[in-house]
Structure 1
Amino acid sequence: MSFRYVKLGSLFNITSGGTPSRKNKDYYENGDIPWVKTGDLKNMYLSDVDEYITQQALNESSAKLFPKGTVLIAMYGATIGNCSILSIDAATNQACAAFKPNNKIIPEFLYYYLMSIKERLISLAVGGAQPNISISILKNIEIPLLTINEQKRMVSILNKSRELIDKRKAQIEALDELTQSVFLEMFGDLKSNPKGWKKVQLSELVQVDANLVSDIENYGSSPKDVLAPAIKVC
């Protein structure tokens, strides 16, 4: 499979949205246009939001309406680097950069690629208190330009991988719940202590060595230079 890298700026007209004035209630009351904020970028596909704006807000502010299939990325804030694909037509605030769908890159391929370089993007962010992945930075990011069929094949593989990961996470969560359930059944709630278990200080059961040990290989951990407190059961 041969391909070349091209800059995102040569494939997309990357833009962002805006925030209608909060002082004008007509911009928000009874709004029916989904308005995306960076906190909404949690899952691969985005179909639900917390806030809506009116057509008047869209007409009189810098907010823009983006079509279904647009890929959004959080440029700054607590969710910096997070991405989602719009499953609906929606407007966004200025913290979201938008890649409208085109005939060269399918949304899912772009989503997976941006998520794969998330840490790199964050490292490129500029600014002090609130680092920003600016649109100019995004325009200069290079992406492998595969054929549409090759992109679809890659997405199919990654989708299957994501499904396996999601299933494993669900299994781990179920196991955690089972462990907690068994513990409660055996010992009861530790706060209310309905079974009347005797309470003692931890120091009565174990000896805590304040010194740190540098070789904990015998405790099943590696590498040897890891430091850990030593606890000895009495």
Structure 2
Amino acid sequence: MKLEEIVRKSNWDLKKISDVTFYQEGPGVRKKQYTEEGVKLLNVGNIQKGKIDLSLTDRYISEEEAYGKYEHFLADEGDLIIACSGIQVSYFHEKIAFLKKEHLPLCMNTSTMRFKSLDEGILDINYFSYFLKTNYFKKQLQKLITGSAQLNFGPSHIEQIDIMLPPIKIQKKIVEVLDEAQKLIDNRKKQIKLLDDLIESIFYDMFGDPVKNDKGWEVKKFDDFSNVRSSKRVYISECVDKGIPFYRGTEIVKLSLGEEVFPELFITEDHYKALKKETGIPKIGDLLLPSICAKGEVWRVDTNNPFYFKDGRVLWVELESDFIDSKYLQYCLSQVLIKNFEGIASGSTFPEMKIFILKNLEIPIPPLPLQNQFAEKVQAIEKQKELLEESLKLMEDNYNSLMQRAFKGELF
């Protein structure tokens, strides 16, 4: 249903975003202006899964510049922040967050944008934050930026976008319903996270710290028990709109976290068959990890569904041993990367895991029966996770249905 039709049927107003919000993109602060202390600079990387995490970057500008030249870019508590550059359309909803008092002082920076309601009696900023997550917003935006899979936009695009405006009381009711649905989702995610924490606790109880190897297990290099490699190069120009999923590092990260993935790149079935014949493909139990994996992202392949992956940016560990359990290896490698990624990786621009580094990486190898015990415990916990994840999927489906109905004027 088009915006105009919704507005006509529901008797709502139709306004330009620029009519009801103040919005501002951050300035282009140059690298030479960065300091080690002062006022933090907000970056795209600080907006993660609907929250602000300033610990992920260490960019500052001096207080002199922040409260002088850039004073009008200093953010306020309650500002709605979005990323506006280099963001995949399917993940855009994760790049929207509100600033809290604890985040201040904070200076806007390039590729980020903030919004305020010009009149809280006309626009509830929380309602606006939900509107940004709808297809009504995304479709208008994609049309303005020529349908790119990457969102790169600025104030000139925002000023052209329409928003439907129900009466403020209805806006607040919509927010109340969606907030409640979101709370249920967040609580379910916390329960799933507790099970992940339990697995980590069991790992350390059984095997100790894999970096310190404080239990004195035998140590081996990856090259001793696996074939570490990547894939054959596939150029983006060879990708198609549908077919066999082609995963990049971003998709591997989500798979490692057990999240649902919506691939944006594909290769043809004939291309896939040729690559499979030439290089082989990962099988269940093999490990895939993005080369930039500072948070320990390791996906243990758990599907026979066909896919291929990007060379260089995704590394492939193919087990060639009968003394390593793949679940143990997944968790062990993940913990090693979390604790010591920068000490392991190399690169002049940013730390990156190279094939030769991973081949020579040493990890402790406990007795196989102990590894198997760990794998059995993990399997039991993962069954509980599956039930919770099924419940989470139903909650998310309900949330999406509520969102769709709310912005069609069908809830109230």
What's the TM-score once normalised by structure 1's chain length?
0.64
- Counterpart Cα distance in 2 of 1:197 and 1:30: 45
For the pair shown, which has the larger CA radius of gyration, 1 or 2?
1
Q: Deviations for 1:138-196, whole angstroms, at most 9, x for unmatched residues?
A: 222221213332222211111111111112223344456668969xx9x9947644328
Q: Indicate how the Cα distance of structure 1 residues 123 and 164 shifts in structure 2: closer, same or farther if over 3 A, else same.
A: same
1:30 aligns to 2:37 (yes or no) = yes
Offset at residue 20 of structure 1 (A):
2.6
- Given the superposition, is the C-alpha separation of residues 94 and 162 from structure 1 closer, same or farther in structure 2, using an over 3 Å criterion? same
- Secondary structure of 2:18's match? helix
**TM-aligned CA distance change 1:24 to 1:6, over 3 Å:** closer
Q: Which residue of structure 2 aligns with residue 219 of structure 1?
A: none
2:83 counterpart of 1:67: no
What are the ranges of 5 or more consecutive residues in structure 2 without an aligned counterpart? 1-9, 207-324, 330-364, 373-412
- Structure possessing the higher relative contact order (Cα contacts under 8 Å, 6 or more residues apart): 1
Contact 2:33 2:61 in 1 (8 A): no
Question: 1: distance between equivalents of 2:194 and 2:33?
Answer: 47
Trace 1:36-115 onto structure 2 (pairs within 5 A): 36-46=42-52, 48=54, 50=57, 51-58=59-66, 59-60=68-69, 64-78=73-87, 81=92, 82-88=95-101, 89=104, 90-103=106-119, 104-115=122-133
Three-state SS of the structure 2 residue aligned to 1:157 is helix
**How large is the Cα RMSD of the aligned pairs?**
3.8
Q: SS of 1:164's equivalent? A: helix
CA shift for structure 1 position 72: 1.8
Task: Give the conservation status (yes or no) of the 8 Å contact 2:26–2:109.
Answer: yes
Pick aligned residue for 2:184 from 141, 164, 172 = 164
Q: CA deviation at 1:57?
A: 2.3
1:143 paired to 2:163:
yes
Give the helix-richer structure, 1 or 2.
2
CA distance in 2, matches of 1:107, 1:44: 15
Q: Show structure 1 runs of 5+ residues with no match.
A: 199-234
Structure 1 pair 162/62, CA: closer, same or farther in 2 (3 Å)? same
Which residue of 1 is the match for residue 275 of structure 2?
none
Greater alpha carbon shift after TM alignment, 88-97 vs 116-125: 116-125
CA change 1:72–1:7 in 2 (3 A) is same
Q: Which piece of structure 1 moves more, 164-173 or 69-78?
A: 164-173
The normalised TM-score by structure 2 is: 0.39
Q: Which amino acid aligns with 1:107?
A: I
C-alpha separation between the residues in 2 aligned to 1:13 and 1:197? 57
Given the superposition, is the C-alpha separation of residues 179 and 66 from structure 1 closer, same or farther in structure 2, using an over 3 Å criterion? Answer: closer
**Counterpart of 2:62 in structure 1: which amino acid?**
T
State the alpha-carbon separation in 2 of the partners of residues 197 and 16 from structure 1: 51
